[in-house]
């Protein structure tokens, strides 16, 4: 009987340690997500074949970042998209919205991977892209990537962006 109680106490102690460890990892992960997402803040640009693409991100509050992406060729706006990254149930959602032929298109992507220098959002049901990622190299340089399957072919587009430093 005593051995059974000792075994039960040891078992409960082990379970408690596992729960505490999981909570600690979960809390660290959330803080890590917040720190990496804070790196988005600011204005970023890249030159592509069609012109200059600019992404602007601004922190609304601790749980929400608002952004927009514009592709310009001289004075012509070729593409405009609004984005929002917001916290939902402890993780982040990347919501996009743009007009195509007068019709609004909205898509949500969900944070699937986060480490000290990378965010990866995914929506496997979206036509293209299914993955949006941001990889941070320095405080003023990042690589934005969109990719996934399009018409049975894997396709990726890379946007090496520099932060615009205001004078």
pLDDT in tens, 18-47: 554 444 444 344 458 889 999 999 999 999
Q: What is the pLDDT of residues 88-111, one digit of tens each?
A: 998 899 999 998 888 999 999 999
Would you tell me how many other CB atoms lie within 10 Å of the CB of residue 40? Answer: 21
CA dihedral 56, 59, 65, 71 (to 10 degrees): -10
> Which pLDDT belongs to residue 29?
46
pLDDT band at 163 (very low <50, low <70, confident <90, very high): very high
Residues 10 and 25: their CA atoms lie apart, in Å, by 23
Which position has the higher pLDDT, 70 or 25? 70
- Lookup: tokens for 113: 């991977």
> Which pLDDT belongs to residue 27?
39
Greatest extent of the chain over all pairs of C-alpha atoms, in Å: 84
Taking residues 62-72, report their average pLDDT. 95
- Lookup: tokens for 37: 């997402």
pLDDT higher than threshold 70 for residue 15: no
Q: Which domains does the chain have, with CATH numbers?
A: 35-163 (2.40.128)
Q: What is the pLDDT of residues 127-149, one digit of tens each?
A: 999 999 999 999 999 999 999 99
* % of the chain surpassing 70 pLDDT: 81
3-state secondary structure 10-58: HHHHHHHHHHHHHHHHHHHHHHHHHHHHHCCCEEEEEEECCEEEEEEEE
List own/partner pairs for 135-141 with CB under 8 A and 24 or more apart: 136/36, 136/39, 139/39, 139/163, 140/165
Would you tell me how many other CB atoms lie within 10 Å of the CB of residue 44? Answer: 22
Reported pTM: 0.79
Q: 103 forms bridges with which residues in the sheet?
A: 100
């Amino acid at each position: 009987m005593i051995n059974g109680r000792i075994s039960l106490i040891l078992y409960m102690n082990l379970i408690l340690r596992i729960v505490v460890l999981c909570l600690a990892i979960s809390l660290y992960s959330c803080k890590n997500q917040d720190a990496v997402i804070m790196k988005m803040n600011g204005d970023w640009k890249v030159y592509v074949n069609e012109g200059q693409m600019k992404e602007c991100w601004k922190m609304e509050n601790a749980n929400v970042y608002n952004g927009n992406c514009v592709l310009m060729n001289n004075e012509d706006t070729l593409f405009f998209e609004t984005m929002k990254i917001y916290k939902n149930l402890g993780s982040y959602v990347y919501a996009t919205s743009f007009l195509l032929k007068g019709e609004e298109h909205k898509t949500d992507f969900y944070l699937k991977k986060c480490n000290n220098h990378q965010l990866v959002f995914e929506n496997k049901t979206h036509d293209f892209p299914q993955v949006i990622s941001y990889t941070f190299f320095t405080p003023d340089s990042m690589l934005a990537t969109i990719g996934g399957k399009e018409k049975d072919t894997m396709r990726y587009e890379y946007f090496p962006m520099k932060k615009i430093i205001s004078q």
